[in-house]
Amino acid sequence: MQLPPDEVAARIKAARELRRMSQQELTKRLAGAGLPVRLAGQLERGKAPLQMAAQLALARILGVPERWFTDPLEDILDDVGDPPPGNSETELLHLAPPRRPRRLRE
């Protein structure tokens, strides 16, 4: 299934912010995975399609299920149960263990 680009963009940004990761750090980590440097910004603005390589890299880097970028939240929740109580759909990120952002040396 393909989600609208603006929803994919919102999910990428929500996952990144929940992990307290800057867009610059995400860019560096995506580049380290062999993806274009401009990709993080383009994806967060909904200006680039999410290809499989980017989806897999983002899921690994952000610690979310691969389905986070493709499936309606209702479908994901049906498979895993309800997220912890609260107001934000980003609470779905409880599915993956939190990762501490690494500080990259300048």
Residue 29 half-sphere exposure toward CB, CA atoms < 13 A: 21
What integer is the mean pLDDT of 73-81?
Answer: 69
User: Do 30 and 40 touch, CB atoms closer than 8 A?
Assistant: yes
Three-state secondary structure along 18-42? HCCCCHHHHHHHHHHCCCCCCHHHH
Instruction: List C-alpha distances in Å: 57 to 33, 45, 51, 74, 88.
Output: 7, 18, 10, 23, 24
Q: Which domains does the chain have, with CATH numbers?
A: 5-95 (1.10.260.40)
pLDDT tens by residue, 5-61: 889 999 999 899 989 999 999 999 999 999 998 998 999 999 988 899 999 999 999
- Whether the predicted model's global pTM rises above the 0.85 cut: no
Q: Enter the DSSP assignment of 63.
A: T
